[in-house]
Protein backbone atom coordinates (compact mmCIF):
# COMPACT_ATOMS: atom_id res chain seq x y z
CA UNK A 1 0.00 0.00 0.00
CA UNK A 2 1.46 3.40 -0.94
CA UNK A 3 2.15 6.01 1.70
CA UNK A 4 1.92 9.76 1.19
CA UNK A 5 4.58 12.33 2.02
CA UNK A 6 5.99 15.59 0.67
CA UNK A 7 8.49 15.06 -2.15
CA UNK A 8 11.25 16.77 -0.14
CA UNK A 9 12.07 15.56 3.39
CA UNK A 10 11.36 18.11 6.11
CA UNK A 11 15.05 18.08 7.11
CA UNK A 12 15.94 19.36 3.67
CA UNK A 13 13.87 22.53 3.43
CA UNK A 14 16.35 24.82 5.27
CA UNK A 15 19.13 23.60 2.97
CA UNK A 16 16.95 23.98 -0.13
CA UNK A 17 15.86 27.51 0.78
CA UNK A 18 19.36 28.71 1.67
CA UNK A 19 20.86 27.22 -1.51
CA UNK A 20 18.05 28.67 -3.63
CA UNK A 21 18.48 32.09 -2.05
CA UNK A 22 22.23 32.09 -2.67
CA UNK A 23 21.74 30.96 -6.28
CA UNK A 24 19.23 33.75 -6.94
CA UNK A 25 21.47 36.36 -5.33
CA UNK A 26 24.56 35.28 -7.26
CA UNK A 27 22.52 35.22 -10.48
CA UNK A 28 21.37 38.78 -9.84
CA UNK A 29 24.91 39.98 -9.10
CA UNK A 30 27.04 37.93 -11.49
CA UNK A 31 24.77 36.38 -14.13
CA UNK A 32 25.94 33.08 -15.61
CA UNK A 33 28.72 32.77 -13.00
CA UNK A 34 25.92 31.48 -10.77
CA UNK A 35 25.71 28.16 -12.65
CA UNK A 36 27.66 26.20 -9.97
CA UNK A 37 25.18 27.40 -7.35
CA UNK A 38 22.23 26.11 -9.40
CA UNK A 39 24.04 22.78 -9.76
CA UNK A 40 24.44 22.75 -5.98
CA UNK A 41 20.68 23.34 -5.65
CA UNK A 42 19.97 20.33 -7.86
CA UNK A 43 22.27 18.21 -5.69
CA UNK A 44 20.53 19.34 -2.49
CA UNK A 45 17.10 18.63 -3.99
CA UNK A 46 18.05 15.11 -5.06
CA UNK A 47 19.69 14.34 -1.73
CA UNK A 48 16.68 15.35 0.36
CA UNK A 49 14.06 13.80 -1.92
CA UNK A 50 11.70 11.54 0.00
CA UNK A 51 9.39 9.73 -2.44
CA UNK A 52 6.28 7.80 -1.55
CA UNK A 53 6.74 4.03 -1.39
CA UNK A 54 4.58 0.95 -1.84
CA UNK A 55 5.01 -0.87 1.47
CA UNK A 56 5.16 -4.63 0.91
CA UNK A 57 5.81 -7.81 2.88
CA UNK A 58 4.01 -10.09 5.33
CA UNK A 59 4.10 -10.45 9.12
CA UNK A 60 7.28 -12.52 8.80
CA UNK A 61 9.05 -10.09 6.44
CA UNK A 62 11.93 -7.82 7.41
CA UNK A 63 12.02 -4.78 5.13
CA UNK A 64 15.08 -2.80 4.20
CA UNK A 65 15.47 0.24 6.44
CA UNK A 66 17.40 2.13 3.77
CA UNK A 67 17.87 2.65 0.05
CA UNK A 68 21.27 1.49 -1.11
CA UNK A 69 23.43 -1.58 -1.66
CA UNK A 70 23.78 -4.63 0.58
CA UNK A 71 27.37 -4.83 1.84
CA UNK A 72 27.08 -7.43 4.63
CA UNK A 73 24.99 -10.57 5.02
CA UNK A 74 26.10 -13.08 7.62
CA UNK A 75 26.06 -14.40 11.15
CA UNK A 76 27.70 -12.29 13.83
CA UNK A 77 27.26 -11.04 17.38
CA UNK A 78 24.65 -8.40 18.12
CA UNK A 79 26.62 -5.93 20.30
CA UNK A 80 23.47 -4.35 21.68
CA UNK A 81 21.43 -7.39 22.74
CA UNK A 82 24.40 -9.69 23.35
CA UNK A 83 23.17 -12.52 21.14
CA UNK A 84 24.13 -14.40 18.01
CA UNK A 85 22.38 -12.76 15.08
CA UNK A 86 21.98 -12.51 11.34
CA UNK A 87 23.41 -9.16 10.22
CA UNK A 88 22.29 -7.35 7.09
CA UNK A 89 23.95 -4.01 6.29
CA UNK A 90 22.95 -1.52 3.62
CA UNK A 91 25.28 1.25 2.45
CA UNK A 92 23.82 4.56 1.23
CA UNK A 93 25.87 6.76 -1.06
CA UNK A 94 25.16 10.48 -1.53
CA UNK A 95 22.82 9.77 -4.45
CA UNK A 96 20.51 7.43 -2.51
CA UNK A 97 17.36 8.52 -0.67
CA UNK A 98 18.43 8.95 2.96
CA UNK A 99 15.07 8.65 4.69
CA UNK A 100 15.10 5.56 6.94
CA UNK A 101 12.10 3.30 7.46
CA UNK A 102 11.18 0.81 10.16
CA UNK A 103 12.06 -2.75 9.06
CA UNK A 104 9.27 -4.37 11.09
CA UNK A 105 6.10 -3.58 12.99
CA UNK A 106 6.65 -3.48 16.73
CA UNK A 107 7.49 -1.48 19.84
CA UNK A 108 10.74 0.40 20.47
CA UNK A 109 12.09 -1.25 23.63
CA UNK A 110 15.35 0.67 23.97
CA UNK A 111 17.64 3.05 22.12
CA UNK A 112 21.39 3.69 22.30
CA UNK A 113 23.36 6.65 20.99
CA UNK A 114 27.14 6.60 20.55
CA UNK A 115 29.18 9.55 19.40
CA UNK A 116 32.05 8.51 17.18
CA UNK A 117 34.19 8.98 14.13
CA UNK A 118 33.28 9.47 10.47
CA UNK A 119 35.18 6.77 8.61
CA UNK A 120 33.87 5.41 5.32
CA UNK A 121 30.51 3.78 6.12
CA UNK A 122 31.22 1.01 3.60
CA UNK A 123 33.93 -0.37 5.91
CA UNK A 124 33.05 -2.96 8.55
CA UNK A 125 34.74 -0.94 11.31
CA UNK A 126 32.15 1.81 10.82
CA UNK A 127 29.66 -0.35 12.76
CA UNK A 128 31.81 -0.01 15.88
CA UNK A 129 33.64 3.30 15.40
CA UNK A 130 31.28 5.78 13.75
CA UNK A 131 28.54 7.90 15.25
CA UNK A 132 25.51 5.64 15.51
CA UNK A 133 22.02 5.33 16.94
CA UNK A 134 20.53 1.90 17.59
CA UNK A 135 16.93 0.90 18.24
CA UNK A 136 15.77 -2.37 19.78
CA UNK A 137 12.38 -3.13 18.22
CA UNK A 138 10.30 -6.04 19.49
CA UNK A 139 7.72 -7.23 17.01
CA UNK A 140 4.15 -7.94 18.06
CA UNK A 141 4.90 -11.68 18.06
CA UNK A 142 8.04 -11.28 20.19
CA UNK A 143 10.91 -11.24 17.67
CA UNK A 144 13.78 -8.87 18.48
CA UNK A 145 15.33 -6.63 15.82
CA UNK A 146 18.20 -4.19 16.31
CA UNK A 147 18.25 -1.39 13.74
CA UNK A 148 21.36 0.84 13.72
CA UNK A 149 21.74 4.14 11.89
CA UNK A 150 25.43 4.81 11.26
CA UNK A 151 26.93 8.10 10.10
CA UNK A 152 29.28 7.97 7.13
CA UNK A 153 32.40 9.71 5.89
CA UNK A 154 30.80 13.15 5.50
CA UNK A 155 27.58 12.65 7.43
CA UNK A 156 27.29 14.96 10.42
CA UNK A 157 23.88 14.28 11.89
CA UNK A 158 21.68 11.29 12.59
CA UNK A 159 18.01 12.08 13.09
CA UNK A 160 15.59 9.66 14.78
CA UNK A 161 11.91 10.50 15.18
CA UNK A 162 10.92 7.69 17.56
CA UNK A 163 11.72 6.94 21.19
CA UNK A 164 11.44 4.13 23.69
CA UNK A 165 7.84 2.98 24.06
CA UNK A 166 6.73 4.12 20.61
CA UNK A 167 4.99 1.66 18.31
CA UNK A 168 6.22 1.64 14.71
CA UNK A 169 4.78 0.11 11.57
CA UNK A 170 6.87 -1.65 8.94
CA UNK A 171 7.82 0.89 6.28
CA UNK A 172 7.13 3.89 8.52
CA UNK A 173 9.65 6.72 8.26
CA UNK A 174 11.54 6.82 11.52
CA UNK A 175 14.76 8.72 10.78
CA UNK A 176 17.16 10.41 8.39
CA UNK A 177 20.95 10.50 7.98
CA UNK A 178 22.65 13.33 6.14
CA UNK A 179 25.16 12.74 3.36
CA UNK A 180 26.32 9.14 3.02
CA UNK A 181 25.87 6.46 5.65
CA UNK A 182 24.66 2.91 6.40
CA UNK A 183 22.05 0.97 8.36
CA UNK A 184 22.81 -2.33 10.11
CA UNK A 185 20.08 -4.80 11.00
CA UNK A 186 20.68 -7.52 13.61
CA UNK A 187 17.99 -10.21 13.35
CA UNK A 188 17.26 -13.47 15.19
CA UNK A 189 19.80 -16.11 14.19
CA UNK A 190 16.93 -18.22 12.82
CA UNK A 191 15.98 -15.55 10.27
CA UNK A 192 16.63 -16.35 6.61
CA UNK A 193 18.33 -13.78 4.38
CA UNK A 194 16.50 -12.90 1.18
CA UNK A 195 19.24 -10.72 -0.30
CA UNK A 196 22.93 -11.12 -1.04
CA UNK A 197 25.92 -8.79 -0.97
CA UNK A 198 25.74 -6.42 -3.92
CA UNK A 199 21.94 -6.39 -4.19
CA UNK A 200 20.23 -3.01 -4.32
CA UNK A 201 17.51 -2.20 -1.81
CA UNK A 202 14.56 0.15 -1.56
CA UNK A 203 13.52 1.20 1.96
CA UNK A 204 10.11 -0.08 2.96
CA UNK A 205 9.81 -2.14 -0.22
CA UNK A 206 12.68 -4.63 -0.44
CA UNK A 207 12.40 -7.74 1.75
CA UNK A 208 15.90 -8.41 3.11
CA UNK A 209 15.01 -11.37 5.37
CA UNK A 210 12.19 -13.52 6.70
CA UNK A 211 11.56 -14.62 10.28
CA UNK A 212 11.32 -18.37 10.80
CA UNK A 213 7.72 -19.50 11.09
CA UNK A 214 6.75 -19.78 14.75
CA UNK A 215 9.95 -18.06 15.90
181 part of the active site: yes
The architecture of the domain spanning 61-192 is Distorted Sandwich (2.70)
> What CA–CA distances, in Å, run from 110 to 4, 76, 107, 133?
28, 21, 9, 11
| Of 181, 190, 196, 206, catalytic | 181
Q: Which of 185, 191, 209, 196 is nearest to 88 (CA)?
A: 185
Task: Enter the pTM of the model.
Answer: 0.83
CA dihedral 188, 67, 151, 7 (to 10 degrees): -130
One digit per residue, pLDDT tens: the chain, 215 residues?
445 556 777 777 888 899 899 999 999 888 888 899 999 988 888 777 777 777 887 889 999 999 999 999 999 999 999 999 999 999 988 788 888 999 999 999 999 998 876 666 666 766 776 788 999 999 989 999 999 998 876 655 788 999 999 999 999 999 888 766 889 999 999 999 999 999 999 999 999 999 987 55
Q: Where are the domains of the chain?
A: 10-47, 61-192
CB 145 within 8 A of CB 122: no
Amino acid sequence: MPDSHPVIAREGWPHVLVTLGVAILVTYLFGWWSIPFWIALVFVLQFFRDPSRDIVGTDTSVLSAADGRVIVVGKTRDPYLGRDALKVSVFMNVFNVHSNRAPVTGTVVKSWYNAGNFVNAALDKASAENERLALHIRTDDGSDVTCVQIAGLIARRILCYVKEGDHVTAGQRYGFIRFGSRVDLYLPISAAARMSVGDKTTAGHSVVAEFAQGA
